[in-house]
Structure 1
Amino acid sequence: MVIGMTAVAHPRFGVWTVVYGSWGPFDHPEDPVDASWARNRELVVEADRLGFDSTLIAQHVVNPFGDELDQLETWTSAAALAALTEKIEIIAAIKPYLVHPVVLAKQALQIEEISGGRFGLNLVNAWFKPELERAGIAFAEHDERYAYGREWISVVRSLLNGERTSFQGKYFQVSDYQLRPIDAHRERPTIYVGGESDPARALVADKADVWFINGQPRDEVSRLISDVAARPREGAPVRFGLSAFPVARETDEAAEAELASLWELAEAGKARWERLVADADPKAVMFQTFTKYPHIGTNGGTAAGLVGSYDTVARRIRDWADLGIETFMLQFQPFEREMRRFAEEVIPRVRALSPARPF
């Protein structure tokens, strides 16, 4: 039990757009690597039709699995998807070093208008060194990146709120700046923040609406939630999201067999993953966590434990929701087929389960 948290009665389900071309092993025979706009457009439009609540568009300029691979661009795609969909929330990730906060805030407000109030931005403070260094952008030390990100999101949040903004900091100096039109649908777009280091958790407590947590065992997630929930904060409590890679089948045995098959494919392609890790910041807590909890997928993937029969996966999701997880951001493989399976077989089962009493 997490002190101060209440069960989430109605969990939300999201899908990661396929920005890298795959979220599982790259050699899957039924899931060719394809990061094209055409594929992602069809995937998100179908997710909208199937009733998924959100889609997350991760941000990289070059593909961290190899610069010979295609990489979907995040913010242009977010604007297009906002115009093509009807109900699904469009969440675009952003690395502060890549875009000035004044420019980014204007882009976010525009996509919020295009979507009719369905936009969110996901602040991530970068871990892939070559992406910045090869562009001539210094890759700052871990804690300095978070100090930069704190100033950056302070400027962005003020502008998104429609405030006339002045800010004098170490990294940004903004004088008497105001954006129009302001958000016509709500106070501002939703701010999601990722990262699990202490500076990241402090930033979440101060500036985030929702914290994205990487998939990992329940006890670890409970500890993280307790830490952030106990920190001083102004306004509404932080809400929580969890990344996961479900493998759901008719029986537990069939799901475990499918997971074993994915592990065989992952083993064959592990050199690509090892190259990615070699180019990551070793101080990034995400990669330290990944070492402790092997998994399929990124951002913790199957370490969240959503592997089993449809009923087993539904019960585990209900357990996570009782812990306080509101949004489940999901990866699949093969993506489209397993996304449909999850929508048809798992989501109705989750909705049929009653939440625990509030703590």
Structure 2
Amino acid sequence: MEKGLNAGISATGMVNSPNRFKLAVFGLNVSNGCSITSAEGAFKGDWDEAKALAQQADRLGLEALVSVARWRGFGGAVNFNDRAFDTISWAAGLAAVTERIQLFATVHVPTIHPVRMAKAAATIDHISHGRFGLNIVAGWNAGEIGMFGTPQKGHDERYAVSAEWIGVIRRLWTEDGFDFEGRYYSIPGGHSEPRPVQRPGPIVMCAGASAAGSDFAAAHADCQFINIFGLDGLKERVAGLKRYARETYGREIRIFTTSYVMCRDTEREARDYYDHVVNQKGDWEGARNLVRGMMPNVENAVDDDAMLASLIAGYAGFPLIGTPDQVVAGMRALSEAGIDGVTLSWVDYAEGLDQMERLILPRMRAAGLRV
């Protein structure tokens, strides 16, 4: 087994699945999912709706469900993501009603102590029989983090905190009775039982495009998520990230991205649907508010229409727009560039998963992307 990759107990999930190109569903715990729009069919954030969609994704053999850690909405017409299930409880609930799919709780490091997180992760790993995953976010939204009474730290220091945080958690998953005195945490007599089902612990993922974020992923994560804005140079970029982890830390990591899907019988219909979602029904004010939170010191970003449109369509994911054949061709291009898989979102998740079953997955198997 490659160093940095978890043996687990399952032949599924974001690391151990035999499928060449992994697929996850993103955003089934927050209202509107990943689309900042009032277009018809948008995810409401209802538990029964989330449960049914999760079970459908499980039945289809998709690798994972990945949540969004959100504490308040972004205003505007739809108040994007304001209704948000706690990601840890969400993962525990879905663990009990699914069979194979991996469940990633996205966690903002400043919001939970590592001793508490280690215990919660191990608990869900037992509920799911080894299917829990931890998606680490160092913290980016100062307004949300401020709700916890602690000012947000500077960008690179957030990753230093996160490194200490996950280091403590991994020791709690594998050691007993240790004392830890770090810069950010003090753990006397560290202990946590039961240990996770997975050994040495659950799969860890994170997203990070900065130097500090990429270094953290290389050192601590099994899966790194990157944003992709085109295919030019992507193969070299992905190879460089994997090489850096291998040469710097002796670890193997997988590289993933996020994508939104708008699939129709013809490309014209798909483009018309994009126009409907983004230009006719898009919540541009909400998107601008999100950008202000992401990049508070880059005021001109709120006037970048291309960026705002990408956020509205699907959280600035890689666009998979067109016919079923074109959607699969886009996935094949990502795979050939070294991307190991994608998290997927749709405006209408029920419609999207139905399309996956009838139209996309058979074509992916024919293309050699799925077994």
Provide TM-score, normalisation by structure 1.
0.86
Equivalent position amino acid for 1:46 in 2: Q
Aligned-partner Cα distance in 2 for 1:163–1:194: 30
- For residues 160-171 of structure 1, the aligned pairs below 5 Å read 160-162=173-175, 165-171=178-184
Aligned-partner Cα distance in 2 for 1:291–1:157: 42
What is the match of residue 40 of structure 2? 29
Aligned-partner Cα distance in 2 for 1:162–1:114: 21
Deviation at 1:178, TM superposition (A): 2.9
User: Of residues 340, 344, 355 in structure 2, which corresponds to 1:326?
Assistant: 340
Equivalent position amino acid for 1:24 in 2: S
Deviates most, 192-201 or 135-144? 135-144
Q: Structure 1's 349 and 270: CA in aligned 2 closer, same or farther, altered over 3 A?
A: same
Aligned-partner Cα distance in 2 for 1:236–1:86: 29
What is the match of residue 259 of structure 2? 244
CA displacement 1:326-350 (0-9 Å, x = unmatched):
2210010112112211232112211
Q: Structure 1's 254 and 161: CA in aligned 2 closer, same or farther, altered over 3 A?
A: farther
What is the match of residue 40 of structure 1? 50
What is the match of residue 171 of structure 2? 158
Equivalent position amino acid for 1:251 in 2: T
Q: Structure 1's 346 and 235: CA in aligned 2 closer, same or farther, altered over 3 A?
A: same
Contact 2:107 2:137 in 1 (8 A): yes
Aligned-partner Cα distance in 2 for 1:221–1:158: 35
Contact 2:29 2:90 in 1 (8 A): no
Equivalent position amino acid for 1:130 in 2: G
Q: Structure 1's 68 and 263: CA in aligned 2 closer, same or farther, altered over 3 A?
A: closer
- Where does structure 2 lack aligned partners over 5 or more consecutive residues? 1-17
Equivalent position amino acid for 1:58 in 2: V
Mapped pair 1:264 → 2:279 = yes
Contact 1:125 1:145 in 2 (8 A): yes
What is the match of residue 310 of structure 1? 324
Deviation at 1:9, TM superposition (A): 6.0
User: Of residues 166, 178, 196 in structure 2, which corresponds to 1:183?
Assistant: 196
CA displacement 1:63-85 (0-9 Å, x = unmatched):
34549942221111111111110
Deviation at 1:164, TM superposition (A): 5.5
The secondary structure found in structure 2 opposite 1:325 is coil
Equivalent position amino acid for 2:41 in 1: E
Contact 1:78 1:111 in 2 (8 A): yes
CA displacement 1:250-276 (0-9 Å, x = unmatched):
222222222222222354x20111122
Structure 1 runs of 4+ with >6 Å offset: none
CA displacement 1:98-125 (0-9 Å, x = unmatched):
0001110111011011101111000011
Q: Structure 1's 314 and 336: CA in aligned 2 closer, same or farther, altered over 3 A?
A: same
Deviation at 1:233, TM superposition (A): 4.0
Equivalent position amino acid for 2:194 in 1: P
Q: Structure 1's 9 and 81: CA in aligned 2 closer, same or farther, altered over 3 A?
A: closer
Contact 1:191 1:210 in 2 (8 A): yes
What is the match of residue 200 of structure 1? 213
Q: Structure 1's 199 and 247: CA in aligned 2 closer, same or farther, altered over 3 A?
A: same
What is the match of residue 300 of structure 1? 316
Contact 1:45 1:85 in 2 (8 A): yes
The secondary structure found in structure 1 opposite 2:232 is helix
Contact 2:26 2:68 in 1 (8 A): yes
Aligned-partner Cα distance in 2 for 1:215–1:299: 12
Q: Structure 1's 71 and 319: CA in aligned 2 closer, same or farther, altered over 3 A?
A: same
What is the match of residue 255 of structure 1? 270
Mapped pair 1:52 → 2:67 = no
Equivalent position amino acid for 2:266 in 1: T
Q: Structure 1's 234 and 283: CA in aligned 2 closer, same or farther, altered over 3 A?
A: farther
Mapped pair 1:214 → 2:227 = yes
The secondary structure found in structure 1 opposite 2:201 is coil
Q: Structure 1's 234 and 312: CA in aligned 2 closer, same or farther, altered over 3 A?
A: same
Could you say what the CA RMSD is over the residues aligned between the two structures, in angstroms? Answer: 2.5
Deviation at 1:38, TM superposition (A): 2.3
* Identical positions, percent: 25
What is the match of residue 97 of structure 1? 110
Q: Structure 1's 213 and 179: CA in aligned 2 closer, same or farther, altered over 3 A?
A: same
Equivalent position amino acid for 1:271 in 2: E
Aligned-partner Cα distance in 1 for 2:102–2:177: 27
Aligned-partner Cα distance in 2 for 1:156–1:224: 30
Aligned-partner Cα distance in 2 for 1:219–1:166: 48
Contact 2:314 2:346 in 1 (8 A): no
CA displacement 1:130-158 (0-9 Å, x = unmatched):
11213322111211211111111111223
Provide TM-score, normalisation by structure 2.
0.84
Aligned-partner Cα distance in 2 for 1:213–1:300: 11
